[in-house]
Structure 1
Amino acid sequence: MRVVLSTYDSRGGVEPLVALAVRLGELGAEVQVCAPPDCADRLAEVGVPLVPIGPPVRELVHGSAKPDVHQIAADLIATQFDQLAAAAEGADALVATGLRPAAAAARSVAEKLGIHSVYVSYCPIFLPSPHYRPQPLPGQPVPPEVTDPEGLNELDIRNNNAYLGEMLNAHRAAAGLPPVDNVRDHTIGNQPWLAADPILAPWLQPADLDVVQTGAWFLPDERPLPADLEAFLAAGEPPVYVSFGSMFAPKDIARVAIEAIRAQDRRVLLGAGWAGLAPIDDRDDCFVVGEVNQQELFTRVAAVVHHGGAGTTNTATRAGVPQVVVGQIGDQPYFAGRVAALGIGAAHDGPTPTAESLSAALAVALTPETRVRANAVAGTIRTDGAMVAAKLLLEAAQTRPVYNAANLQD
Structure 2
Amino acid sequence: MRVVLSTYGSRGDVEPLAALAVELRNRGTDAVVAAPPDDDFAELLERVGVPLVGAGQAVKEMIAEVSRKQGPNVGRRLPLEELQFRAHRIVASQYEAVLSSVRTGDVVVGTGLMPAACGARSAADQLGLRWVSVRFQPTTLPSPDHPPYPYPGRPLPEGLGNAELWEYDRETMKVVFGGVFNEHRQAVGLPPVDDVRSYIFTDEPWLAADPLLAPAPSGVEVVQTGAWIRPDNRPLPPELEEFLTSGEPPVYVGFGSMGLQQNLHEAGRAAVTAARGHGRRVVLASGWAELALADDDKDCFRVGEINQQALFARCATVIHHGGAGTTTTATRAGAPQIIVPQVVDQPYFARRVAELGVGVAHEGSVPSAGSLTEGLSTTLSPDVARRAHEVAGKISDQGTRVAAELLGG
1:249-398 mapped onto 2 (5 Å cutoff):
249=261, 250-251=263-264, 252-394=266-408
Change in CA separation of 1:138 and 1:54 when aligned onto 2, cut-off 3 Å: farther
Structure with the larger RCO, 1 or 2 (CA within 8 Å, 6+ apart): 1
* CA distance in 2 between partners of 1:270 and 1:91 (Å): 46
**Partner residue of 1:227 out of 212, 226, 238:** 238
4+ residue segments displaced more than 6 Å:
none
Aligned to 1:197: 210
Show structure 1 runs of 5+ residues with no match. Answer: 396-410
Q: Which amino acid is 1:139 matched to?
A: G
Q: Which amino acid is 1:65 matched to?
A: R
* CA distance in 2 between partners of 1:90 and 1:256 (Å): 54
Q: Which amino acid is 1:281 matched to?
A: D
Does structure 1 conserve the Cα–Cα contact (< 8 Å) formed by 2:253 and 2:283? yes
1:55 aligns to 2:88 (yes or no): no
Does structure 1 conserve the Cα–Cα contact (< 8 Å) formed by 2:254 and 2:268? no
Change in CA separation of 1:146 and 1:91 when aligned onto 2, cut-off 3 Å: farther
Aligned to 1:65: 68
Aligned to 1:169: 182
Change in CA separation of 1:62 and 1:286 when aligned onto 2, cut-off 3 Å: farther
Does structure 2 conserve the Cα–Cα contact (< 8 Å) formed by 1:34 and 1:51? yes
Aligned to 2:201: 188
User: With structure 1 as the length reference, what TM-score do the two structures score?
Assistant: 0.93
How far apart are 1:255 and its partner, in Å?
1.6
**Partner residue of 2:47 out of 23, 45, 48:** 45
Aligned to 1:237: 248
Give the secondary-structure state (helix, strand or coil) at the position aligned to 1:241.
strand
Give the secondary-structure state (helix, strand or coil) at the position aligned to 1:380.
coil
**Partner residue of 1:217 out of 228, 237, 240:** 228
Mean Cα displacement is larger for which, 186-195 or 253-262? 253-262
Q: Which amino acid is 1:243 matched to?
A: G
Give the secondary-structure state (helix, strand or coil) at the position aligned to 2:68.
coil
Q: Which amino acid is 2:178 matched to?
A: G
Aligned to 1:403: none
User: With structure 2 as the length reference, what TM-score do the two structures score?
Assistant: 0.93
Does structure 2 conserve the Cα–Cα contact (< 8 Å) formed by 1:34 and 1:53? yes
Give the secondary-structure state (helix, strand or coil) at the position aligned to 2:284.
strand
Does structure 2 conserve the Cα–Cα contact (< 8 Å) formed by 1:254 and 1:280? no
Report how many aligned residue pairs link the two structures. Answer: 392
* CA distance in 1 between partners of 2:191 and 2:56 (Å): 25
Does structure 2 conserve the Cα–Cα contact (< 8 Å) formed by 1:81 and 1:171? no
Deviations, residues 256-294 of structure 1 (Å, cap 9, x unaligned): 111111111111110111111111112111110111111
Q: Which amino acid is 2:3 matched to?
A: V
* CA distance in 1 between partners of 2:257 and 2:280 (Å): 25
Give the secondary-structure state (helix, strand or coil) at the position aligned to 1:338.
helix
Does structure 2 conserve the Cα–Cα contact (< 8 Å) formed by 1:192 and 1:211? yes
Aligned to 2:34: 34
* CA distance in 1 between partners of 2:83 and 2:184 (Å): 18
* CA distance in 2 between partners of 1:261 and 1:62 (Å): 31
Aligned to 2:192: 179
Change in CA separation of 1:163 and 1:193 when aligned onto 2, cut-off 3 Å: same
Give the secondary-structure state (helix, strand or coil) at the position aligned to 1:266.
coil
Does structure 1 conserve the Cα–Cα contact (< 8 Å) formed by 2:34 and 2:94? no
Does structure 2 conserve the Cα–Cα contact (< 8 Å) formed by 1:192 and 1:212? yes
